[in-house]
Homo-oligomer: A and B are copies of this chain.
Amino acid sequence: MGAVKAGLVDPKQDRAPKQDRSRATRKRLLEAAVACLAEHGWAGSTVSAVAERAGVSRGAAQHHFPTREDLFTAAVEYVAEQRSTALRALFPDGPTDRRAVVRALVDLYTGPLFRAALHLWVAASNEDQLRPRVTELEARVGRETHHIAVDLLGADESRPGVRETVQGFLDMGRGLGLANLLTDDGARRERIVAQWAKLLDDVLD
């Protein structure tokens, strides 16, 4: 700021790096928030704990996210968007290998993002402050995941039953995520994925 005041730096040129730093801090906070939620659950996830994890002052964290609810709902949304983008990028040519698509969709529910979202979801069922925000967030993320699934599976939703088949399949993905919470359910899951990829083939083609 001293340099700006002294007229040595053009204020417009100075703004861009500042915005970059602010964006980088925000990103660090969001990623730390998801990791914290996945590891320690809602009870163990405070703005202070996330700020410390991200190496950011508590004041700076609160400047970006005034409340705990702001921080954690923004975090789950941010990481969900990252995952959606990454998932689309995995299949740039659209529906080719359906079993690979089925596996990638199920994988959405077995990582830290799902664990974090699950903690938020379950906490929201008992906390009035959190409930409307998480309800709205889950609806938005759910719609986006459904769109991606329809595209990548090459599902024609104008045909009867196709929409419900895709919905049920994504619900199965969430259930498989739950089954993976306490133990590594990978071997069982892989057999189920193989079978359901075949069943989806029968319905969708």
Q: CB distance A41 to B195 under 8 Å? A: no
A182 within 8 A of B: yes
Q: CB distance B172 to A192 under 8 Å? A: no
Q: CB distance B126 to A44 under 8 Å? A: yes
Bound Cα distance from A196 to B169, whole angstroms: 10
B residues near A75, Cβ cutoff 8 Å: none
Bound Cα distance from A195 to B167, whole angstroms: 10
Q: CB distance B40 to A126 under 8 Å? A: yes
Bound Cα distance from A41 to B41, whole angstroms: 13
B residues near A158, Cβ cutoff 8 Å: none
Output the least CB separation between A53 and chain B (Å).
16
A68 within 8 A of B: no
Output the least CB separation between A201 and chain B (Å).
12
B residues near A195, Cβ cutoff 8 Å: 161, 164-165, 168
Bound Cα distance from A174 to B169, whole angstroms: 12
A178 within 8 A of B: yes
Interface residues of A in 183-198 (CB under 8 A from B): 183, 188, 191-192, 194-196, 198
Of the 9-residue stretches A3-11, A14-22, A117-125, which lies at the interface with chain B? A117-125
Taking Cβ atoms with an 8 Å cutoff, the residues of A that contact B are: 39-41, 43-44, 115, 118-119, 121-126, 131, 134-135, 138, 142, 161, 164-165, 167-179, 181-183, 188, 191-192, 194-196, 198-199, 202-203
30 A/B residue pairs, CB under 8 Å, sorted by A: A40-B126, A41-B123, A41-B125, A115-B125, A119-B122, A121-B178, A121-B182, A124-B182, A125-B181, A135-B183, A142-B179, A161-B195, A164-B194, A164-B195, A165-B199, A167-B188, A167-B191, A168-B172, A168-B192, A168-B195, A171-B172, A171-B192, A172-B175, A174-B178, A175-B175, A175-B176, A175-B177, A178-B178, A199-B203, A202-B202
